[in-house]
């Protein structure tokens, strides 16, 4: 039961009741990203070379495509939540804030989709080439 008057709710006063969910997802994605970030950093820094063959072989090797896709998805999610808070804090005015929040959402979804597609493309093309030869 809510103690708030219906008018207060209609005027959007008080809590929106999705703060805890946002807070929790930000933490869960952070915990998930911690091992993935270490894996990615160590993996990239220990590449013997940054040429095309080395890089695509590394991206497609073993479980790397899965881990990379997970990293991209969770990092995009985590970044979207973080940027959202920054926009809410520093961008003032309803229109500017709404536009910034929507733009951030679109960019993060685009990053996740493009990144995962690129990884799958490299991994599957490598698999086809390896299977064909």
Partner 1 sequence: MAERPLSPHITVYRWAYTMTLSILHRVTGVALAVALIGLVAWLVAASMGADSYAALLPLLTGVPGKLAIALAVAALIYHFCNGLRHLAWDLGAGFERADARRSAVLVVAATLIGAVLCLYFIFRGAGAA
- Using CB under 8 A as the criterion, which residues of the chain lie in contact with partner 1 when the complex forms? 27, 30-31, 34, 37-38, 41, 44-52, 55-56, 59, 68, 72, 75-76, 79, 82-83, 86, 107, 111, 114-115, 117-119, 121-122, 125
Nearest approach, Cβ of residue 5 and partner 1 (Å):
16
Q: Which is nearer to partner 1, 101 or 111 (CB)?
A: 111
Counting other chains too, the contacts that 124-128 makes at CB distance below 8 Å and 24 or more residues apart are: 125/60, 126/56, 126/57, 126/59, 126/60, 127/60
Nearest approach, Cβ of residue 54 and partner 1 (Å):
9
Q: What DSSP line would sit under 58-123, residue for residue?
A: HHHSTTHHHHHHHHHHHHHHHHHHHHHHHHHHH--SHHHHHHHHHHHHHHHHHHHHHHHHHHHHHH
Q: Which is nearer to partner 1, 82 or 101 (CB)?
A: 82
Q: Are 83 and 130 in contact (CB under 8 A)?
A: no
What whole-number distance in Å separates Cα of residue 21 and Cα of residue 84?
A: 14
Nearest approach, Cβ of residue 1 and partner 1 (Å):
24
Q: Which is nearer to partner 1, 38 or 99 (CB)?
A: 38
Nearest approach, Cβ of residue 56 and partner 1 (Å):
6
Q: Which is nearer to partner 1, 47 or 99 (CB)?
A: 47
């Amino acid at each position: 039961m809510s103690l708030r008057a219906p008018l207060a709710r209609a005027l959007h006063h008080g809590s929106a009741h999705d703060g805890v969910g946002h807070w929790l997802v930000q933490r869960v994605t952070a915990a998930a990203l911690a091992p993935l970030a270490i894996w990615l950093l160590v993996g990239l820094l220990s590449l013997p070379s940054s040429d095309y063959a080395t890089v695509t072989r590394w991206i497609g090797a073993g479980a790397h495509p899965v881990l990379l896709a997970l990293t991209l998805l969770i990092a995009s999610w985590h970044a979207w939540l973080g940027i959202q808070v920054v926009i809410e804090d520093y961008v003032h005015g309803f229109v500017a804030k709404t536009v910034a929040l929507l733009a951030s959402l679109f960019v993060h979804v685009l990053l996740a989709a493009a990144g995962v597609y690129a990884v799958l493309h490299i991994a599957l093309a490598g698999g086809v080439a390896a299977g064909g030869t």
